[in-house]
Chain A
């Protein structure tokens, strides 16, 4: 769906400004680090805590958010001059809800096992602050192509944090990566070894702490981010 959208925009926007001008590039790169939706704006934290126990879930969750965000940003941007200001939140909700339903059905059809594990959290993308935030803050006031890029940047910024947290949690919590056993059974204490999986990693608090550590590292590397 989003690819169709991108093509349309290219024709419309091409003559004026290069597609990947410095300004447009910044739309993608900024949310990856300096303006990351999770670690800097602290949006969309709930899903980062809830579905980062396994890498597979986190990847599919990120993909779903990315698709919804890109398509939604494009649609809202295209409609931005037609939406009456007073009911704009309702319109935005209708758009997100439609897209999320589509994504949910697609997941159910093609990856039923993942869909089962993600359960309500796909539906809850509707309430994900990143999406409404981008609609309000960007798509309502910008042209279609920059809106799509902005969505791509924010979606990827959300995705890498989610996947990073999920890698830490799955490797140390279950000794697995994408469902494959990393730590041999003979190492386990139950079998006379010395190792034991960290059960705390499975519990939500550790997701919060892992996100916190990422924020810590990020601020230590980039001192501009530290508030006075």
Chain B
């Protein structure tokens, strides 16, 4: 280790500092150095709190939290591929197939995103910012396993450039980067990310149509509840069916790579809350928001989609994944504590509403979080204004 440190810091470093041969590429070098070694940067002025946590460490924690969902996602991809091809679903063959499908997406997403970040950092002579470390992992997790790689690259480049760099880079973006990438593909190449494409390289075995639970549910909208077509789908959601509560919560249903297993996602959520990185306020209020809307729909009960039990409604689709990893993005969420509660509640509330009202957009969660990202600064504004007003009132009471 000492040898490596000497080699890098003494031999290679001078080439990149001022006056060195590759002075222009200092920011690229700096990013790699601080990635491998503890940086020797110190604060220049002012009082500050000493803490071992910095942006890079925060990002790594979030990535760690995503590992259960990623591993389960790989297994899930292999599981459905093997079942639909009439092969036995066993742990290692599933994992191997899943890895072969998922890892290229991860690599492409990181290569495209970090490529843009490095080019811009070198061009504008600023340090490479770590913001993309998490986005680069979130993007593959919200993709179907069969997505063409060039679409992932294009969506990533679009999201980093138009979603983030235009607004001033890491920490300045208005909407979530990973969801921007997903929304890009959703609107640009809808046939690759919606419909019956959720089983990777499907075979001919019956019962694996490649639709998601939400896709099937969306078919019931606008139809009478007692038509055989609808009752068939509804029976899939009762115990023993393909989308039963147990299967949906454990993740034995087709879907985006990381979104299927509520259990794996909740392990990540527990880790995020324990380390204090993810906001429990946003997660819990979003859960309550989704539950509220689902209950209201239960009372209404106009079609089979609305009659799905509230908790079951939250287990299918991207709700849990969006709740834990997307809505909690500290940059795009509301900043005030009250604001976080309102923001989270509306994310869940609107997400379920979009999903049920508009069968063309089964992934309502993506759209509701993007929408609430835009609304978050306004929520904060009114929370702060209300606070100011309350304190003014208190002050007046005292002086009067």
Q: How far apart are the CA atoms of A194 and B192 in the complex, in Å?
A: 12
Contacts of B192 in A (CB 8 A): 196
Q: How far apart are the CA atoms of A212 and B163 in the complex, in Å?
A: 12
Interface residues of A in 200-228 (CB under 8 A from B): 200-201, 203, 209, 212-213, 216
B166 within 8 A of A: yes
Is B148 a contact of A194 with CB atoms below 8 Å? yes
CB distance from B309 to the nearest CB of A (A): 35
B360 within 8 A of A: no
B187 within 8 A of A: yes
Is A198 a contact of B148 with CB atoms below 8 Å? no
Contacts of B191 in A (CB 8 A): 196
Q: How far apart are the CA atoms of A213 and B162 in the complex, in Å?
A: 9
Contacts of A216 in B (CB 8 A): 166
B172 within 8 A of A: no
Is A196 a contact of B189 with CB atoms below 8 Å? yes
CB-nearest residue of chain A relative to B148? Answer: A194
CB distance from A197 to the nearest CB of B (A): 9
Identify which of B162, B166, B189 contacts A198 (C-beta below 8 A): B189
Contacts of A203 in B (CB 8 A): 187
Contacts of A209 in B (CB 8 A): 162
Given contacts A209-B162, A216-B166, contact A198 B150 (CB under 8 A): no
Is A201 a contact of B166 with CB atoms below 8 Å? no
Contacts of B166 in A (CB 8 A): 212, 216
Given contacts A209-B162, A216-B166, contact A200 B148 (CB under 8 A): no
Is B188 a contact of A201 with CB atoms below 8 Å? yes
B115 within 8 A of A: no
CB-nearest residue of chain A relative to B149? Answer: A194
A199 within 8 A of B: yes
Given contacts A209-B162, A216-B166, contact A200 B184 (CB under 8 A): yes
CB-nearest residue of chain A relative to B187? Answer: A200
Q: How far apart are the CA atoms of A200 and B184 in the complex, in Å?
A: 7
CB distance from B351 to the nearest CB of A (A): 21
Q: How far apart are the CA atoms of A212 and B151 in the complex, in Å?
A: 22
Q: Is the interface of A mostly helix, strand, loop or mixed?
A: helix
CB-nearest residue of chain B relative to A195? Answer: B150
CB distance from B37 to the nearest CB of A (A): 35
Contact pattern, B 124-143, Cβ under 8 Å of A = 1, otherwise 0: 00000000000000000000
B171 within 8 A of A: no
Contact pattern, B 179-193, Cβ under 8 Å of A = 1, otherwise 0: 000001001111110
Contacts of A194 in B (CB 8 A): 148, 150
CB distance from B305 to the nearest CB of A (A): 26
Q: Is the interface of B mostly helix, strand, loop or mixed?
A: helix
Identify which of B150, B162, B190 contacts A199 (C-beta below 8 A): B190
Q: How far apart are the CA atoms of A201 and B151 in the complex, in Å?
A: 14
CB-nearest residue of chain A relative to B185? Answer: A200
CB distance from A204 to the nearest CB of B (A): 11
CB distance from B191 to the nearest CB of A (A): 8
Q: How far apart are the CA atoms of A72 and B184 in the complex, in Å?
A: 42
Is A199 a contact of B188 with CB atoms below 8 Å? yes
Interface residues of B in 139-197 (CB under 8 A from A): 148, 150-151, 162, 166, 184, 187-192
Q: How far apart are the CA atoms of A201 and B162 in the complex, in Å?
A: 14
Report which residue of A200, A212, A213 has the largest number of chain B beta carbons within 10 angstroms of its beta carbon: A200
Contact pattern, A 9-28, Cβ under 8 Å of B = 1, otherwise 0: 00000000000000000000
Contact pattern, B 11-34, Cβ under 8 Å of A = 1, otherwise 0: 000000000000000000000000
Contacts of B189 in A (CB 8 A): 196, 198-199
Contact pattern, B 65-87, Cβ under 8 Å of A = 1, otherwise 0: 00000000000000000000000
Q: How far apart are the CA atoms of A209 and B162 in the complex, in Å?
A: 8
Contacts of A212 in B (CB 8 A): 162, 166
CB-nearest residue of chain A relative to B186? Answer: A200
Q: How far apart are the CA atoms of A141 and B217 in the complex, in Å?
A: 64
Q: How far apart are the CA atoms of A216 and B120 in the complex, in Å?
A: 15
CB-nearest residue of chain A relative to B154? Answer: A198
Q: How far apart are the CA atoms of A216 and B165 in the complex, in Å?
A: 11
Is A199 a contact of B148 with CB atoms below 8 Å? no
Contact pattern, B 43-63, Cβ under 8 Å of A = 1, otherwise 0: 000000000000000000000
Interface residues of A in 66-94 (CB under 8 A from B): none
Q: How far apart are the CA atoms of A209 and B184 in the complex, in Å?
A: 12
Q: How far apart are the CA atoms of A212 and B150 in the complex, in Å?
A: 24
Q: How far apart are the CA atoms of A213 and B191 in the complex, in Å?
A: 27
Q: How far apart are the CA atoms of A209 and B151 in the complex, in Å?
A: 19
Q: How far apart are the CA atoms of A30 and B184 in the complex, in Å?
A: 36
Given contacts A209-B162, A216-B166, contact A200 B188 (CB under 8 A): yes
CB-nearest residue of chain A relative to B188? Answer: A200
Contacts of B187 in A (CB 8 A): 199-200, 203
Q: How far apart are the CA atoms of A198 and B188 in the complex, in Å?
A: 5
Q: How far apart are the CA atoms of A196 and B191 in the complex, in Å?
A: 10
- B residues near A, CB below 8 A? 148, 150-151, 162, 166, 184, 187-192
- Given A196-B192, A198-B188, A199-B189, 14 more A-B residue pairs with CB atoms under 8 Å apart are A194-B150, A196-B148, A196-B189, A196-B191, A199-B187, A199-B188, A199-B190, A200-B188, A201-B188, A209-B162, A212-B162, A212-B166, A213-B162, A216-B166
Q: List 24 A-B contacts (CB under 8 A).
A: A189-B148, A194-B148, A194-B150, A196-B148, A196-B151, A196-B189, A196-B191, A196-B192, A198-B188, A198-B189, A199-B187, A199-B188, A199-B189, A199-B190, A200-B184, A200-B187, A200-B188, A201-B188, A203-B187, A209-B162, A212-B162, A212-B166, A213-B162, A216-B166
- A residues near B, CB below 8 A? 189, 194, 196, 198-201, 203, 209, 212-213, 216
Query: Lowest 4 CB-CB distances: which A-B pairs, in order?
Result: A200-B188, A200-B187, A198-B188, A199-B188
